[in-house]
Structures are given as C-alpha cells and as structure tokens.
A and B are shown apart, each in its own frame.
Chain A
C-alpha cells in the first residue's frame, strides 16, 4: 500500500517548495491537501477562478517537480452542521471552489464528508441525506467539467447519513466516486473502521491514520481538535487495524493526517527539527500500517 502525507500544514508554514522537498526527503511518494477555505470567507465569497489558479497551481507544479503524486484534496470546513438555510448555498459554493482548486493543483480526487449534525432530531438521517445529495449534485457538475473525481469520507455521527457503508457505496456508485475511511470518524459513529474499509472494496481510495481520546463516543459530544491525539496512542485498536489491513484493497493509500496533531504545536512551528521529528514519526506510523515498514 502507498503512504501519503497531509501536506498543507508544512506548506502553510514553510512555503510550498521547502515543504514538498521535506516530505519527499522523508520518503513520501504521495501527498494529500486539506483546503482551509470556509463558506463565509473570501475563498468562497470573493475568489475568482483566476485567484484560485494563482493560489493552487504552484502546489501542483511543485509536486510534479518533486515527483510527488497528489492523492486527493479535502476541505477543512464541514459542508453542513447547522440548519441555517442561508449558509446552504454558501457551503455548496465552498465545495465548488474547492473542486476548482483541486483541478488547478492537478489533483485527480476531491474527498468530501457528507453533512453531519450534532444534535438529535428524529429526521436527522433524511435531513443530512437531502443536504448532502443536494450539494453533491452541484459539486459533481463542476467536478465533471474540470476533470476531478469525487470521494466520500465516512461520517462521524451515527445518526447522520454517510456513516454506514451502504450510504458510502450508494454515493460512490451514483457519483462514480471513491471512498475514504477515517477510523476516528468510524469510532465516533460506532462503526467498525476495518469493516467499512473492507466492504468498500476496490472503491476504497484511502484509509486515514488518526486517533482520538477514548471518551468521545457520544455522537453529540463534538469537541473539535481536543479529540485527536498521536496515532496509536488513543482509543483505536491499531494492532487490530494493522492485522486487518491485509484484507482491504491493497491499491488504497494510507493517508497520514498531520493537521490536528501539529496544530497543537503551532507555537513551536519555528522549530523545524521538531516538525521534522514529527514528520518522521508520522511517516513510520504510516509505513507500519501500510505493512511496508521492512521494505523501507
């Protein structure tokens, strides 16, 4: 299996060339990129196609120069977690802008998580499904136009649409997309991450490396970044995950998620040796999960 680094934290702090050289030197051949634009920020409300091209094309060019493959992009911001109609169109536009950015980077896939909702209502499944499909239909049109494939990330709310494999397969079949499994989301949604990954079959694009505290199983207990910790040190059963990785699509990418952990150390980002140390630790973790440790 291949191993990908989440590149945007390093790009933001060290510049694209330095960051990608660093990741290449670590041993990565693949990168992912989390687009930070929000629905209420200029990225969504003001940026023209030219602005997007100017911002994101250099990342693709530099990745090509460094022989790094762009695996997929994601959006930092949730597509929907409130019921405010006035934000619905803006969130749709945010996703469309992200698809354009993905294309400008020369990245083949944009991964998106279905709408989540962190308070309970009887029709939560139907509501989140409707919101998700509405947005995905629009996003798909742009994606087709710019040559980007969609991928769907498992949801982290057990009552919402998209946390179960049937939903993800439905989405991937309808939108001719791929599936990304984040084990932290699966834990929060009371799903078995390895069953999700296995049942995704050859539609599985990536399996993320994340971990979280063990007391966050309540789907309405959304605590943001506080839940994430160093991979393999939290509630997820990584020995079991590693054991069962052999049963999933071996073409899939092991996607090491840096941001939530490294943002805890943003006060110390000037210490490049510290960031390099994290980088090497994450890479080794990714390689272990990809079962390619010995080969490297």
Chain B
C-alpha cells in the first residue's frame, strides 16, 4: 500500500510548535515527514560531535513520532563535492556523512543524495566521466550507508542550458541512468529517487520513468508539478503532469513506498496568511495524495 508523506513547509514559520506541526500533518492523513537535512556543508549542525548530533536528532524524532508520524525520508546537503573545489572537498564530504548519520538517528530508511551534476546537456563522453566521478563519490559514502543502515537514494536532476536557459537533461536525468548508477554501485545500499517535476524539465515522461524503474528500482519519490518552464514545485494539478497516470503507474508496478510531496514551496506565497490556511492546505494535499494513489485501482 502506498503511504503519504510530505515536507513540513505548510507548518513552518506559522507560529505553531513542532508538536502541533506534526500533529496537524498526522491528522490530515500523512504517514511520514520528509525531514530536511539540506543545510549547507558549513552549517554548524555538521560540526556537532556524533553524540551531540545523535541527541539532537533523537529529540526531533521523538517529537515527530509522539505526534503520530514517522520520518519517511530525508535529504542530504545539496552542495556535494564536484571535483573543482579541492579546498572544501573534505568539509563537503563530512557534511554528507554526518547527514547519513542524522538520517539514521531519525530512523529514516532513506536519504536522498543528489548526484554530482553539470549545468548542461551531456554526450556519452561526459556521461562516462561524470559517472566515474559519481561512483567515486557515492562509494566514499557507501560504508556509512551500510554502517548506519540508511539507503542512499539517487535523484534524477535536470539542468539548464547556460546560454538559452532552457531546461534539459543532464548526467543523471533518465530512468536508464538511474538504473545504471544503482546497478554499478550496490542495490543493497542505493536506490533511486524519482522527482517527477525534474523529469518534466529533463524532457522525460515521469509516467514512463515509473514503469522503467519498476518496483525493483523505485525507492523514493518527490512529487510536485510544473509547466516545463521552471522548477517551481507546484501542487499537483497546477502544472502539466498527468497525475491520474502517475497514480496508476505507481499501482501498476505495485509500488509500496511513500508518495512524498516536495510541493509546498508555492505555499510560501501566502506570506502573512500562511498560518490561516495551514490546516486547509494540509487537508487538500492529503486528500489529493490519497486520490492520486488510488488511481487505477
């Protein structure tokens, strides 16, 4: 059975306690929260000792669990090491490793770790060069994933042509590339994260990607919408994705993970009215998610 998860942006900065935030999510029908560990590599949290990090994360987990939900997945810092920043390589890797530990302390089964990517379309040579770099990168994280029993989820990313600013595919934008990465690494430690909005920007059909990945490779999801012109993480239905087809595809492959929203960015537009609508928006998202994951059943 597909479960529902979301980021907690609906309830951020609206003047309610952490307890209330997770209770609202639970009441709306969410099973899990996508807990953000995306703080930059220089964030003080990554300088904490393991004991301090563990204590901090276990406190967070306790509040989450006591209010009716679990941590379904997390997301590591976005500023991974890309080879051209030798002076910060160690600090960047350290942040990724600490994020893996944090995910474990939160009892999250998954941590999404972006592949190292480039801002332009790739040919076969670039693909192979980038793959080599990424395998090296992920293999450095692999012992920690094994030790802390968290699966690393490799996410499909789009790129933007630096001249035309058009969105396009990049190093790891297709189902085939995601599968290639997981097969080359180790399926016990790695899986894929399908970001359906990124798929659209990469000129890929997210529905076809679900079928290609299948239950075997699809571990984690990022669900949001766009119109193909900007990675604006809209609410499903507000862009161009066929959500009935998404739900049907997930059911067809017998996906039993989490339908996880990464779609609360536009909610910030409500500005000073955010707090008024938290409950209503959570309910709309929850009911929409339920309707989508019931599609085709």
A interface, CB within 8 angstroms of B: 213, 226, 229-230, 232-234, 238-239, 264-265, 267-268, 270-271, 273-274, 276-278, 280-281, 284-285, 288, 293
B87 within 8 A of A: no
Main secondary structure of the interface of B (DSSP, over half): helix
Chain B residues lying within 8 Å of A265, measured Cβ to Cβ, are: 237, 288, 291
A213→B266 CA distance, assembly (Å): 12
Q: Which of A264, A276, A285 contacts B237 (CB 8 A)?
A: A264
- Would you call B227 and A280 a contact (CB within 8 A)? no
Chain A residues lying within 8 Å of B267, measured Cβ to Cβ, are: 233
B3 within 8 A of A: no
- Interface size, B (range): 20 to 34
Interface flags for B243-284 (1: CB within 8 Å of A; 0: not) read 110000000000000000000001101111100110011011
B238 within 8 A of A: yes
- Would you call A232 and B280 a contact (CB within 8 A)? no
B294 within 8 A of A: yes
- Would you call A288 and B238 a contact (CB within 8 A)? no
Find the B residue at minimum CB distance from A226: B227
- Would you call B270 and A281 a contact (CB within 8 A)? no
Chain A residues lying within 8 Å of B237, measured Cβ to Cβ, are: 264-265
Q: Which of A213, A239, A264, A281 contacts B277 (CB 8 A)?
A: A281
B179 within 8 A of A: no
Main secondary structure of the interface of A (DSSP, over half): helix
Q: Which of A233, A239, A268 contacts B291 (CB 8 A)?
A: A268
Chain A residues lying within 8 Å of B291, measured Cβ to Cβ, are: 265, 268, 270-271, 274
Residue in B243, B286, B288 whose Cβ sees the most chain A Cβ within 10 Å? B288
- Would you call B287 and A271 a contact (CB within 8 A)? yes
Chain B residues lying within 8 Å of A238, measured Cβ to Cβ, are: 273
Q: A230-B235, A281-B284, A284-B277 are in contact. Are A268 and B272 (CB under 8 A)?
A: no
B292 within 8 A of A: yes
Q: Which of A213, A274, A293 contacts B284 (CB 8 A)?
A: A274
A284→B281 CA distance, assembly (Å): 11
B295 within 8 A of A: yes
Find the A residue at minimum CB distance from B232: A213
Chain B nearest CB from A228 CB (Å) reads 9
- Would you call B287 and A233 a contact (CB within 8 A)? no
- Would you call A268 and B284 a contact (CB within 8 A)? no
Q: Which of A232, A270, A274 contacts B288 (CB 8 A)?
A: A274
Chain A residues lying within 8 Å of B243, measured Cβ to Cβ, are: 267-268
Chain B residues lying within 8 Å of A239, measured Cβ to Cβ, are: 271-273
B290 within 8 A of A: yes
A267→B234 CA distance, assembly (Å): 18
Chain B nearest CB from A263 CB (Å) reads 10
A281→B235 CA distance, assembly (Å): 14
A273→B284 CA distance, assembly (Å): 9
Q: A230-B238, A232-B269, A281-B281 are in contact. Are A267 and B276 (CB under 8 A)?
A: no
- Would you call A233 and B276 a contact (CB within 8 A)? no
Return 27 A-B CB contacts under 8 Å, by A number.
A213-B227, A226-B227, A229-B234, A230-B235, A232-B269, A232-B273, A239-B271, A239-B272, A265-B288, A265-B291, A267-B295, A268-B288, A268-B291, A268-B292, A271-B291, A274-B287, A276-B287, A277-B283, A280-B280, A281-B280, A281-B281, A281-B283, A284-B276, A285-B277, A288-B273, A288-B276, A293-B276
